[in-house]
Structure 1
């Protein structure tokens, strides 16, 4: 059944989210959903220790595979490799598992150990040669991926003072961003055969739950327990705006704060690399979509709320993610164990 979930008028254009389908996905809370690079498969994970792979058959989405032998506790995050042939999963059991996809079947080929407790996130670098993990143990680990499917720890980064919630890679450079319970965002790069923190971004007043680069990598969006979304702009050395930089490193400045829209903690944010839309999921069971005003000044950008769905799920919305190939297709998941697919209309 198709449900017109919500609509809002903005600049005389009616925008809405259409609920395409509802998947009873996990027997416990559903923590995360991730599209494959082709946009044709969706991986989900949850408190039931399982990973599910979903694909479309006709007009329906069905579970193609269940990966249930990789972890002993909650699976917190899943991430596809850029080539789509591997899936990484991180768990509260302090491990990260690597799955190889061959002939449509998934095989557990490696278990990465070293974190002292829950691994909160795992992310592949754009070229697939590096993997990053982060944990409640306050550390970020960088793993090198060899041609013979071996994974070797290249660096352990202890820049954060609290639980590290999320890691993500710059879309075109070997720069890693992380965010934490310590209210900060940190940027890392490799220098002289080791990884170092070269920038710390501070503006949030509480836990930073998620960060995401835009398609160019010159902007970053963050969401927080402080109920705000912030847009960060990169300023290169010698920038015409006169923003002070250090050495060859860029400076990052918070240029926009979206506040007053969310009434509970914002758990997730995703920047659509095809359309520029920003979507959030929060502890108030809601989904919000924002769009930058046309002609907006990059140094003081303005964003408009295009859609809000106040009861997108019956419990906390843990994840929202845009399909990488279909610009108006969105997936979400929740503490209610359900995955929903949505179509954005203008």
Structure 2
């Protein structure tokens, strides 16, 4: 195993396993954006909903898919109802709905709903299968809602990405607004920008592609090359851009200014065992400058829409994994990054300002230097089994100090188990 450049300063401690586990491989865990619950996707064709308060099963959603459920995502900004999208190896995506009969986590109903024959259960408590989105020719590998919650992206082994619009007409109607087929291999993952309608995807063709809407059509605005193997997962940085960054306050402020120009970065992981961070290069030519250049008779290579974007590899995180890295998660609260994969390890990284180095001034000014360090390494998180997914979630277990805003890490593995970890010093 490659050695981290600095000794880890933190450790991961098992808080609990979600109970009961699946008897088959579990692919992914999706934390709810508002409630202390998570959805897990399993090879047994079901989605399980667990509580993060007592780590017990609340519901089992079944009957919508004919093969393994590979992925799930919660729709944001929904009031009074939870809406879940799922993707399956049966080439379909499903939309599930359930009325929320509680206003906050303290009133969360912990009774099991789906599959319970108790007369106390009300039919309104059940998850309702709203609609099946059919269009892909092969396995759906990832689903993701846009920041607004109006668009759903799905990607597949058929090398395509579909974008669907939720018409929100009360009849569960979705409209296909785009089908992108530029990838040359299976599309493994999709993720949305935290504030804009901008999509990023990773593929078996070793590339990361960035997509935006141009007038009434979606198109590729950037192709990021650098990984030497399948890109298994991608995720945007949250906002603000300097959360969790360590170093002098004035240096952090300077970094924040540069981050604002570039926008949220992208983190990716790959079969090549690496975790990488990518940064968009701010456009230097403004519309006014382009007009002035045209008036002077200078040639311009700027597209009329100006949608093409330049991205650069900003950092390769310290090498700790010795097998494929399947999942990466960027905490929007702390700025910490976690990764996991085929070697069963969970690694946590932190970014810090490099002391004693000042950003270069003048026309060749550069981003204030930062570096990533490994703060925690957990070996064999699920014994001998591969870990398929890692996610950050707000800590919600009972008995803790509620005045502290804490996060937990959730890992999902081939043995069917899902484990919840705390990060401490």
Question: Please, what TM-score do these two structures have when normalized by structure 1?
Answer: 0.91
Which position in structure 1 is the counterpart of 2:89? 92
Shift of 1:259: 4.7
Instruction: Give the aligned partner of residue 338 of structure 1.
Output: 417
Match status 1:254 vs 2:307: no
Could you say what secondary structure the match of 2:91 adopts?
coil
Residue 322 in structure 1 maps to residue 412 in structure 2:
no
Q: Is the 8 A contact 1:214 1:220 kept in 2?
A: yes
Looking at CA atoms only, which structure, 1 or 2, has the larger radius of gyration?
2
Gaps of 5+ in 1: 1-7
Which has the larger helix fraction?
2
> Cα deviation per residue 1:200-257 (whole Å; 9 max; x = unaligned)?
0000011000001101352100000000011101122118xxxx98735432100111
Describe the shift of the 1:259–1:225 C-alpha distance in structure 2 as closer, same or farther (beyond 3 A): farther
Change (3 A) 1:91 1:204: same
In the alignment, the residues of structure 2 paired with residue 10 and residue 345 of structure 1 have an alpha-carbon distance, to the nearest angstrom, of: 17
The equivalent residue for 2:192 is: 169
Q: 2: distance between equivalents of 1:283 and 1:227?
A: 9
Q: What stretches of structure 2 of length at least 5 have no aligned partner?
A: 101-124, 240-262, 286-300, 360-366, 396-404
Give secondary structure in 2 for the equivalent of 1:132. Answer: strand
**For residues 145-160 of structure 1, what are the structure 2 equivalents within 5 Å?**
145-148=166-169, 149-160=172-183
Following TM superposition, by how much is the alpha carbon of 1:265 offset from its aligned partner in structure 2, in angstroms?
Answer: 0.3
The count of residues paired between Structure 1 and Structure 2 equals: 333
Instruction: Please tell me whether residue 17 in structure 1 is matched to residue 40 in structure 2.
Output: no
Aligned to 1:5: none
Please show how residues 76-91 of structure 1 align to structure 2 within 5 Å: 76-83=70-77, 85-91=82-88
Cα distance between partner residues in 2 of 1:191 and 1:236: 19
Which whole-Å CA distance do the structure 1 matches of 2:368 and 2:164 have between them? Answer: 35
Q: Give yes or no for the alignment of 1:219 onto 2:265.
A: yes
Give the whole-Å Cα distance in 2 for the aligned partners of 1:108 and 1:138: 27
What's the offset of the Cα at 1:294? 3.4
CA-CA distance at 1:16 after TM superposition? 1.1
1:327 Cα deviation after fit = 4.0
1:83 Cα offset (Å): 2.5
Closer/same/farther in 2, CA of residues 299 and 160 from structure 1, 3 Å limit: farther
Shift of 1:184: 0.1
Q: Secondary structure at the match of 2:159?
A: coil
Instruction: Give secondary structure in 2 for the equivalent of 1:31.
Output: strand
Q: CA RMSD in A?
A: 2.2
Q: Distance in 2 between matches of 1:19 and 1:142?
A: 38
Q: Equivalent residue for 2:34?
A: 38
- Would the aligned equivalents of 1:273 and 1:324 in 2 still touch at CA under 8 Å? no
Partners of 1:163 and 1:14 lie apart in 2 by 38
- Tell me the distance in 1 between the aligned counterparts of 2:52 and 2:329: 23
TM-score (norm 2): 0.74
Counterpart-to-counterpart distance in 2, 1:48 and 1:78: 14
SS state of the match for residue 116, structure 1?
coil
2:189 and 2:352 map into 1 onto residues whose CA distance is 28
- Aligned-partner SS, 2:127: strand
Partner of 2:110: none
Match of 1:187 in 2: 210
